[in-house]
Each structure stands twice: as C-alpha cells, then as structure tokens.
Amino acid sequence: MKILVTGAAGFIGFNLISKLLTIPKVEIVGLDVINDYYDINLKYARLAIHGIDAKVLVKNDFQISKVFGNYRFIMADLADHEFIVDFMVNEKFDYVVNLAAQAGVRYSIDNPRAYTHSNINGFLSILEGARFSKVKHLIYASTSSVYGLNSKMPLSERQPTEHPMSLYSATKKANELMAHTYSHLFGLPTTGLRFFTVYGPWGRPDMALFLFADAILNGNPIKVFNNGDMIRDFTYVEDIVEAIQRLIFKPPSADSKWDGNDPKSDSSSCPYKIFNIGNSNPVKLNDYIFALELALGRKAEKIFMEIQKGDVVATHAETSSLESFIDFKPKTSIEDGVKKFVQWYLNYKK
C-alpha cells in the first residue's frame, strides 16, 4: 500500500505522517515545497523527527528517511504541473492525502496570488495526477471558512456555502467544486474535509495559541480580537489525524438516493463526499485564553481589538455524518489539548 501526503512539513501533514508510520506494510511519500510563510526552522524540525535532513534537500529529488525505511520525502511545488502529474503517474499511489495549501485568512488579503498558485493551480496538478494514475481515493483539506456568512449553528455540510469572506475560503470552496467535477467525469473518489480551527503540538506559529503562548512567556500583551467574544470549534490535531486515517481506507461511493431535484451538497451521484471535522463543542476565545493561562501558570495582558476583515464571528461543527461513517468523533477537551500543546511548546522552545 502506497500513500502520498502533501504538506508533509506542515502542521497537520507532519502529525498525520507520524500516525501513518505506525501502520505495518505501508509505504509513505511526503511532499512539501517548504515555503517561508512562517518560520522555516519549525518545518525543518518536523522533517528531522521523521529522519529527513533539510540541509541536503534537493528540489524534485527524493530523500530516504534515516529513521523510517518506508518513508521518502520530496521537496516539490504542486503548481509545477507537468512534474507533479508525471511523478504521481510513475509512483502509482494507492491513496493521496492533499494537505498542502497556502493557509491563513488574513494573509490572503494582501497576498492573493499565493492562494491561486498553491490552492488552485497546485490542486489541479493533484487532480490530474490522481486521475491519470487511477488513485483509489483522494482526500483533500478544505476549511470551516467556506461557511462564510452563514450564521445558523451548528454548521452542517448540507448548508449552502456561496458567501465566503476571504480569498482563502474561496479557493477552498473552489477545491470542493473542482473535486466534484473529477469525481463526476472520471469516477475519481474524492473526500473533502472541512477542518475547524486545528491546534496542538507542532502547530503553526501564526495561529492564536502559538502567538499567545509566545507573548505571555515573554511578558508581552496579546491582541484579542472582537473583545474575546469570538466563538470557535477548536479541534485537537490528534483527533484530526485519527479521523483522516480512518477515512483514507473508506473511499466514498455514489449516493443512490441523491436527487438532482433536491441536491444535497455533501454527497452526489458520483463518488464524492464532504465532511466536517470539528470538536462540536465551541468555546469563546476568552475561555481558550484562560485554559492557556492555567497551563502556563501565568496571566495574559490583553489588548482588546475589533474583529478583523475576513474573520467569522462563530464556528460550530455538525459532525454526525462523520461519526456515522467512521465511528469516530473528535473528543479532546480544550483543557487537555492546550495542556499538551504547552508541554510540547516549552520543550521545543527549551
């Protein structure tokens, strides 16, 4: 069995590969462009855990893990279309998990082309490669941000998602639409995963938990948007990767009950599926900060600010569809998840 994981040096990709490496008789290939959107040394540190020496990486060339003989890594850009398609056809992957993307709502306001490059052009390369190599199942990262202006909670996969609030979310909605066309035209089984505010060890330094912990420990104030009244369905990364692992080996099939007169947006008459992955237990940002203060044993100095452009006020995932499909529901509490993050953070920062 052979699995490709893109975004292998990223937050979720790294944690997923760590889990997949525990499965016997599975060959894993990780792919990442390793851009400098955030501290590149964190990406290098993740790769080192998997036995990859970032100092000797060569573009479009494999490096075999020094620790895991069944793991290979390749540094490549998904938007390098011809290379990616040829690479996937030659490697003949059974399963593909596409987690590579340009992330960040706020960054997309000032750097829109980075999102079309990675999230649109790059995803097209993955779709074409999966099509021509007859991949058994393509899983790809979407986001809760696609719900945009929707305010009816909890957010269900069957809700319309035509009102995004950032280019980032628009590109992820585009991924869902692009995947559906390939499922319809070529019978490619695809599953889109709408992640809800993922956090945990090895997390991104541009996300709230990392920023807050760094500021508190250095005696600096933290910026709290919308006066801390933002509500988020914070989801621990280990729950995310557990769900992905279970989904990899369960490709969707055509929904025999799907009706074009009353079309459901989370399934189709072709092998296509959309799932929310969230904790289904939303909390206020102020409560999230309080959990961090407890774990660090320090109080935060707060600067309250207005909500930023592109940010949604609240998220709350409806996850019954995911639970019934793979018999799993994210369950890590904020208190436990934040505590585990802090333990990792203190060790990483020494």
Burial class (CB in 10 A: 0-12, 13-18, 19+), 160: exposed
Q: Which residues pair with 63 in a beta bridge?
A: 73
Q: Considering 168, 199, 236, 288, which one is annotated as catalytic? A: 168
Give the E-state strand segments of the chain in sequence order. 2-6, 27-32, 62-64, 71-75, 95-98, 137-143, 190-195, 198-199, 222-225, 231-232, 235-236, 272-277, 283-284, 302-305
Residues with Cβ within 8 Å of residue 111, at least 6 apart in sequence:
none
Q: Is the peptide bond before 160 cis (omega within 30 degrees of 0)?
A: no
SS3 breakdown of the chain: % helix, strand, coil, rounded to 5? 40, 20, 40
The H or E element spanning position 264 is none
Evaluate whether 84 touches 74 at the Cβ level (below 8 Å): no
Query: Is 71 designated active site?
Result: no
Query: Would you please indicate which residues are annotated as catalytic (active-site) residues?
Result: 168
